[in-house]
Structure 1
Amino acid sequence: MASENLPLSYKGHPLRRKDNLIYYGTMAEKYIIMLQVLSTKNQGDLSVADKVSVQLQLTDPDLKSRDRVVKKSEKDSLYAAMDVAAVWLERALSGK
């Protein structure tokens, strides 16, 4: 099917996952969000994130990793983390 080739996205920005890291946004833009699942809990048969770190980062490759972080927070669920991430990314990319 054609839909298999479409990347996963949320509110118009792509999502990429590598182990416990989720990158929200594209490296072609000035900012990107990095979400890191710090801990999980079991709910039935599923493992659900219960502690997630959110960081708004600059994509400039010339900066050290600690200098790229513009904002950071910790949330109690992936849903809350994605909610904050979407707002931060939109505001950062619009220049507010």
Structure 2
Amino acid sequence: MGAILLVEWPATDPARRRETAGRLSALALRDAERLLFTAGDPFGDEPAMVLAASFISPERAQAALARWRAEGALPADARLRVLTSEARGAAEPPLLLFP
């Protein structure tokens, strides 16, 4: 079972937003199986950025979070979630494959 790590932090300051996104993206590329995305939410009550990275297990995601905390890379006001994930195959109806 894999894991998705979500890190969300306030993005009211554009310089902080870019710096944090760059730092966390680099760490995710180093530690995660895959960096899924970084995205901004400019329309919420408080602008925020979200980073999502996939890991091969929840334990690996927790270990990466521990390293990132030890390195001081996570903003103090970041919200963190580790979600378990399962791969799902996309099944196409035969009619769409063979018109």
Query: TM over 0.5, yes or no?
Result: no
With CA pairs under 8 Å and 6+ residues apart, which has the higher RCO, 1 or 2? 2
For the pair shown, the structure with the greater C-alpha radius of gyration is 2
TM range (shorter): 0.3 to 0.5
Could you tell me the TM-score, scaled by structure 2's length? 0.32
Structure with more of its chain in strand, by fraction: 1
Could you tell me the TM-score, scaled by structure 1's length? 0.33
